[in-house]
């Protein structure tokens, strides 16, 4: 039997013990304090017995601390390296879904993929939050995927001549004239659609109501963060006001008009699950129904394309994000009902909807990378070829 090289045993132990210590939730300072205490104990025993063990212990301590440092470095950095490598490989849609789930500990997801006018392929992954198997017809909150639905209804009203993109909020919803900040008078429908109305803060989700008006009314008591139209800052408040604009149309409320003008023509049986979040985050449905809406070329996509031609710096069109000529959106909710939602429609008509039953870390970056990967994968194919 070959003798064990000096130091190899302590180094192996240092790496394994350090990893176990770190994963148990202890800090590096606690580890070093305990190591120093052990060194003092051994030094005391060595003095009592007349045997010098200090030098040997210091060598072992050094190996242990180095092993611990490597474990910390590995634990912190390696997941990021692996994640970056994954996205660099041009992954398929299903690979992306599985990666997002595995990296973030998300239990389940449902994905719908197909072309406009076709029955999509529905795939269910993982589990529901109650531990049962995920089913293709599972209902999810759509979170901010509700915004393109609201935007499509607004664009339909514009097409009907009810108002224009440059009409002022205060002329369409008179209560806005009572806002604390006089710059409310400068906010237009275009600003609301493009998240450039002036709001810096998210909506207060702790309110209650049968529509989103409590959210809008509360915000009216504060000053705007910037002049309307000055810049883009993503905000739920603008889409709350768009809901109220739709609700002021004679003979129809927000939900009724959206169903009649937008969802029914698409065959999308979505439901308004959260009325307070309404136009900015209140809709819910299955991946299949969400696909039916997003796979149709909405008027928002057409106007977004025109807006992009007018201003190449535009990232967010009129209700949809512009992703390398494709249109899409993402959403998320924290709290008791956590979700992460993605939708993208490519110029070819190929559409992807992915609904997750939990929220990933760094959701914004994850959404951007996932949507770009969806775009690359579906555009690598041609209409009539199998998806995914």
Domains and CATH numbers, the chain: 8-87 (no CATH), 93-138+287-388 (3.30.450)
pLDDT at residue 7 tops 50: no
pLDDT (tens digit per residue) in 346-362: 888 889 999 999 999 88
When the pLDDT of each residue in the chain is averaged and rounded to a whole number, the result is 80
Quickly state the pLDDT bin for 201 (edges 50, 70, 90): confident
pLDDT confidence tier of residue 80, bands split at 50, 70 and 90 = confident
The rounded distance, in Å, linking the Cα atoms of 111 and 109 is: 7
What are the DSSP calls for 138-183, one per residue? --EE-GGGHHHHHHHHHHHHHHTTS--TT-BHHHHSGGGGG-SSGG
127: pLDDT strictly greater than 60:
yes
Q: What is the pLDDT of residues 266-284, one digit of tens each?
A: 999 999 999 989 999 999 9
Q: State the Cα angle at 320 between 318 and 323, rounded to 5°.
A: 120
Q: Is the pLDDT of residue 216 over 80?
A: yes
Residue 18 predicted with pLDDT over 80: no
Residue 2 has pLDDT above 60, yes or no: no
Indicate whether 75 pLDDT > 70: no
The CA distances from residue 336 to 130, 141, 226, 302, 358, in Å, are 13, 12, 33, 36, 10
Range from 63-67, 84-88, 238-242, 335-339 carrying the lowest mean pLDDT:
63-67
Lowest-confidence region among 165-169, 297-301, 347-351: 297-301
Residue 316: predicted pLDDT:
63
Please state the rounded mean pLDDT for residues 41-69: 60
Whether a cis peptide bond, with omega within 30° of 0, leads into 204 is no
Q: Cα(213)–Cα(240) distance, rounded to whole angstroms?
A: 7
Is residue 135 a contact partner of residue 150, using CB atoms and an 8 Å limit? no
Overall size of the chain counted in residues? 388
191 contacts 168 by C-beta, under 8 angstroms? no
Report the share of the chain in percent with pLDDT over 90.
Answer: 46
Provide the pLDDT confidence category of residue 23 given band limits of 50, 70 and 90. very low
First vs last C-alpha separation in the chain: 55
Question: Cα 328–121–156 angle (5° rounding)?
Answer: 40
Is it the case that residue 34 has pLDDT exceeding 80? Answer: no
Please say if the pLDDT value at position 151 is more than 50.
yes
Question: What average pLDDT score do residues 80-96 get?
Answer: 84
pLDDT at 87 over 50: yes
- The tokens describing 133, both together, are 């198997």
pLDDT of 22 = 41
pLDDT at 69: 67
């Amino acid at each position: 039997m070959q003798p064990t090289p000096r130091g190899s045993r302590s180094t192996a132990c240092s790496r394994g013990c350090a990893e176990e210590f770190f994963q148990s939730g202890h800090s590096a300072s606690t580890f070093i304090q305990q190591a120093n205490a052990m060194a003092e104990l051994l030094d005391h025993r060595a003095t009592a017995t007349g045997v010098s063990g200090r030098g040997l212990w210091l060598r072992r301590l050094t190996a242990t601390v180095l092993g611990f440092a490597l474990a910390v470095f590995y634990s912190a950095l390696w997941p990021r390296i692996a994640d970056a490598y994954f996205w660099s490989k041009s992954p398929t849609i299903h690979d992306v879904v599985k990666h997002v789930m595995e990296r973030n500990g998300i239990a389940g997801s449902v994905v719908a993929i197909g072309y406009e006018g076709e029955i999509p392929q529905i795939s269910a992954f993982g589990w529901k939050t109650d531990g049962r198997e995920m089913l293709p017809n599972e209902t999810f909150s759509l979170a901010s995927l509700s915004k393109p639905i609201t935007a499509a209804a607004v664009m339909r009203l514009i097409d009907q001549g009810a108002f224009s993109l440059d009409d002022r909020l205060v002329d369409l919803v008179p209560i806005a004239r009572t806002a604390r900040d006089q710059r409310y008078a400068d906010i237009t429908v275009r600003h609301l659609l493009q998240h450039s109305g002036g709001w810096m803060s998210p909506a207060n989700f702790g309110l209650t109501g049968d529509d989103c008006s409590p959210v809008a009314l509360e915000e009216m008591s504060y000053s705007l963060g910037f002049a309307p139209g000055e810049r883009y800052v993503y905000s739920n408040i603008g889409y709350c006001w768009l809901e109220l604009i739709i609700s002021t149309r004679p003979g129809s409320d927000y939900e009724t008009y959206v169903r009649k003008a937008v969802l029914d023509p698409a065959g999308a049986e979505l439901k308004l699950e959260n009325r307070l979040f309404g136009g900015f985050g209140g809709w819910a449905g299955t991946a299949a129904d969400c696909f039916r809406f997003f796979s149709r070329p909405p008027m928002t996509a057409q106007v977004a394309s025109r807006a992009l031609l007018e201003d190449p710096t535009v990232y967010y069109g009129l209700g949809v994000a512009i992703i390398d000529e494709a249109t899409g959106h993402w959403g998320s909710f924290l709290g008791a009902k956590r979700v992460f939602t993605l939708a993208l429609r490519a110029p070819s008509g190929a559409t992807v909807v992915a609904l997750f039953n939990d929220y990933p870390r760094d959701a914004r970056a994850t959404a951007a990378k996932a949507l770009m990967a969806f775009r690359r994968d579906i555009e690598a194919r041609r209409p009539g070829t199998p998806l995914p």
